[in-house]
Amino acid sequence: MRPAILRERDVPIPLPDGVVLRADVYRDPAAGPRPVLLQYTAYDKANWASVYGVINPERAVDHGFVVVVADARGRFRSGGDEPFRPFAGSGEDAAACVGWAAAQPWSSGQVGMYGASNNGVPQWQALRRRPPALRTIVPHFTASEYDSGWVWRGGAFQLGFNLWWSLANLAPDQLRRAAARDGAAAHQDTARALAGALRDPDAAFGRLPLTDAPALDGIAPHYREWLAHPPGDPYWHALSARDALAATDLPVLHVAGWYNVHLDGNLAAYETIKAAGGPAAERQRLIIGPWTQWSPALFGDACGPERRFPAAIDMEGLQLAWFAQHLSGAGGPELPPVRVFVMGVDEWRDEREWPLARARATPWYLHSGGAANSRHGDGRLSRTPPEGPQPPDTFRYDPRDPVPTRGGATYLPNPAANSGPMDQSAIEDRDDVLVYSSDPLTGPVEVIGPVHAILHLVTDAPATDVTAKLVDVHPDGRAFLLCDGIRRVTAAEVAAAGPGPVRVEVDLIATGNVFLPGHRIRLEVSSSSFPKYDRHAGTEDGTATAPEDLRPARQTVVHDDRHPSALVLPLVPAEDPAEEPAP
């Protein structure tokens, strides 16, 4: 018979500075002391998706655990007068929650943490305090560094995620708390602006300067703080958990998604622990699924039921088995060091390491007759390097008409319809998108691992952006996005190159895909993906205070024998060596 489950609501957790957090505790009242699974959440312990989306507390109780879900300081039922600031202070508070949970009479003294997205942050931050009772963590879809793995990418501001997440996930509760504290009239302008931004997010994304975010006035100071601190700033170093990762001895189960906005952060955390070579290096595991932000499912134009079912995995069961092993000493089969979902063939693979040792970084070179504009142009992608001169490809970048974001690793309004492997055909009809495609493949080409592009760029702007996308083109012409990246080219780099091209390396993060026979490998090159990234204004520092400050730029991609531009793919050889598919 299933045990009765007691849910104790709003249990107080006193913090050392006098603030009281509130938690819901799920447990079997007839059981003795048990290990505790702790989620420290910014997303409301009363919200079904927040509580049940990663681990169902009732199933966890059935498996011999107590579950504690605590609202973060300054969020929902917890105390704290200051506006909530993501990252800051979460480590101290999470560590205090670990200590509190370990000391309760229903606890065995062994605590594990779990949670996705921002709920992964306090897990990494708690490592910096290393509470003695913390035995393992399971961070999903998150990052341990917040400039390069969260707020910025390639030097560009991740506008879509940063603004929409702040508006939709953080601001409503922050406004409620501020109105309760100061009176609704004190925040009525913010309330009107927030309602308008949620109703018309495109207008919010288009505001200039980027700091002009009236919907966050007085309730979300973190947003302007982030804009004021570029990547590499000491502000970010003070928040980074990198040193704690390198020193930890805790086992970690990393959960990442090919289409998750924090994929680079997940992979960086795994590789930091691995590179440190400490006791945790061999105790960590990595799972990468075909998932978007928050979603253990496969969405997008390419994803009917026939693709979603192979992608299904009992992540809840895997986590409970992991916690049983590391909190209760239970036996059972070990997870492989790395488990990845390989798209194209749509199957799970167990691997020994990440990146895969057998994968070979292989350049696919750009060629054209000087007219690679759009998918109707003459851009070609080949394993053969350029011989002698080739005419370059030129396009006009206009920040007033940026290339729109369609799918990929995003978190934008209506994420189920605007994330994952979306068809890029309409994007590739634009003349400000250069398109380079391989010939139809005569055999499968397996690509698993980090992806980057090396491009040689001449611009007439003082500084600019370069974007790149890896696309799987089906025989019927549909072109599904696999991964993408951006690189902000600085004024110093442009000046140093003089009249010649700047060598630009664009990090597309990673993918796992088999390009099937008859498919084509495609690279898109442009200078924008809006609103995923902020628009480069064409100015020396990339910013604009008003639309009239936006300046178009003439962009030229060079791909001759002296400047071989290429897409670099991690090719995985077939286990049974065969003739290499023709490019």
| Contacts of residue 527, Cβ cutoff 8 Å, sequence gap at least 6 | 395, 397, 403, 432, 464, 465, 466, 467, 536, 553, 555
What is the C-alpha separation between 117 and 149, in angstroms, rounded? 12
Choose among 461, 510, 470: nearest CA to 488: 461
Is residue 506's pLDDT more than 90? Answer: yes
CATH assignment of 6-149+235-351, among 3.40.50.150, 3.60.15.10, 1.20.1740.10, 3.40.50.1820? 3.40.50.1820
CA distance linking residue 27 with residue 65, whole number of Å = 7
Helix (H, G, I), strand (E, B) or coil at 78: coil
Residue 579 pLDDT exceeds 70: no
Q: What was the pLDDT predicted at 578?
A: 33
pLDDT of 580 higher than 50: no
With H, G, I as helix, E, B as strand and everything else as coil, classify residue 530. strand
Arithmetic mean of pLDDT, 220-231: 96
Between 331 and 222, the more confident residue is 222
Query: Residues 267-282: pLDDT tens digits?
Result: 999 999 999 998 899 9
Cα atoms in the 13 Å half-sphere on the side-chain side of 198: 16
Q: Of 335, 340, 164, 351, give the one whose Cα is nearest residue 258.
A: 340
Does the pLDDT of residue 575 top 70, yes or no? no
pLDDT per residue over 100-155, tens digit each?
999 999 999 999 999 999 999 999 999 999 999 999 999 999 999 999 879 999 99
Q: Tokens 């079904």 map to which residue?
A: 48
311-367 residue pLDDT tens:
678 889 999 999 999 999 888 788 999 999 999 999 999 999 999 999 999 999 999
> 583: pLDDT confidence band, cut at 50, 70 and 90?
very low
Cα–Cα distance list, 260 to 231, 328, 511 (Å): 20, 31, 11
Nearest to 158 by CA among 424, 488, 399, 414: 488
Report the distance separating Cα 190 and Cα 188, nearest Å.
5
Rounded Cα gap, residues 43 and 37, in angstroms:
17
Cα(262)–Cα(99) distance, integer angstroms = 29
In 65-145, which ranges are E strands? 66-71, 107-116, 134-140
Categorize the per-residue pLDDT at 66 as very low, low, confident or very high, splitting at 50, 70 and 90: very high
What length is written for the chain?
A: 583
Beta strands 434-437 and 566-571, pairing class: unpaired
**Buried-exposed string 481-510: b where 16+ CB fall within 10 A, e elsewhere:** bbbbbbbbbbeebbeebeeebbebebbbbb
Contacts with 195 (C-beta within 8 Å, 6 or more apart), sequence order: none
Identify the DSSP state of 215.
Answer: G
Q: Pairing between strand 134-140 and 107-116?
A: parallel
Contact indicator for 222, 174 with CB cutoff of 8 Å: no
What is the chain's percent helix, strand, coil content, to nearest 5?
25, 30, 45
The CATH code belonging to domain 360-571 is 2.60.120.260
Using the predicted structure, report yes or no on whether residue 297 has a pLDDT greater than 50. Answer: no
Provide the CB-side half-sphere exposure for 259 (13 A, CA).
33
Q: How confident is the model at residue 50 (pLDDT cuts 50, 70, 90)?
A: confident
The closest alpha carbon to 138, from 33, 43, 269, 48, belongs to: 269
**Residue 101 Cα to chain centre, angstroms:** 30
DSSP β-ladder status, 107-116 and 34-41: parallel
C-alpha 95/C-alpha 7 separation (Å) is: 23
| Conformation bin of residue 111: beta by default, left when phi > 0, alpha when psi is -120 to 50 | beta
At residue 236, the 3 state secondary structure works out as helix
Ranges of each domain in the chain: 6-149+235-351, 156-229, 360-571
Greatest Cα pair distance in the chain: 79
288 vs 190: CA distance, rounded Å: 39
Angle at 78 between CA 77 and CA 84, to 5 degrees: 110
What is the pLDDT, as a whole number, of residue 295?
Answer: 58
Q: How confident is the model at residue 582 (pLDDT cuts 50, 70, 90)?
A: very low
Pairwise CA distance, residues 497 & 479, whole Å: 34
Quick one: pLDDT at residue 314? 87
For residue 322, how many C-alpha atoms fall within 13 Å in the half-sphere facing its CB?
Answer: 31
| Mean pLDDT across the chain | 93
Give me the residues paired with residue 554 across strands.
396
What is the reported pTM? Answer: 0.94
Residues 6 or more apart from 556 whose CB is under 8 A from it? 392, 393, 394, 457, 458, 459, 501
Are the beta carbons of 230 and 210 closer than 8 angstroms? Answer: no
